[in-house]
Amino acid sequence: MDLGGAVIFVKDLKRMMAFYGGALGLSLLDDRSSEGWAEFTAGGASLLLHAIPQGLAAGMTITNPPRTREESATKLVFRVRDVEAERARLVSHGVRMLELRAWGACDGVDPEGNVFQIARVPSSPRGPKPGGGSGVGA
């Protein structure tokens, strides 16, 4: 079984598209996107942003900076060759990034509070696994 993609339900689709396409540098698949839906290529999988229906979104508040959703059971992990350089690049784009972890990973927070991680591309299949720890502070 192969993972084909992950879906994030979002309040502000345009803002989240700007974040994942601009700051994170993912490529938007225009031919697979539509109103209320955006699909990005993320290596061997797709990242899909799905707008929350307006009636539900109206009852949601996204603070600035966003409240980190540490209780979420899901964390997207993006593999990069140089975690330190990528962390610095994301910080220069205004992305909230936490400190680098000893095993070569760093958590960040998107504009709606979803936690993601950048992690070093493993040098061997037995190397440290990205996504380790529980929550942002782990």
Domain boundaries, the chain: 1-60, 61-132
pLDDT in tens, 61-81: 887 888 788 777 789 999 999
CATH class of 1-60: alpha beta
Please state, as a whole number, how many other Cβ atoms lie within 10 Å of the Cβ of residue 69. 16
| CATH of span 61-132 | 3.10.180.10
Of 4-8, 19-23, 126-130, where does mean pLDDT reach its minimum?
126-130
Asked, colleague to colleague, whether 1-60 and 61-132 share their fold, the answer is yes
What's the pLDDT score for residue 130? 55
How confident is residue 57, by pLDDT bands cut at 50, 70 and 90?
confident
pLDDT of residue 15: 94
Task: Identify the pLDDT of residue 128.
Answer: 53
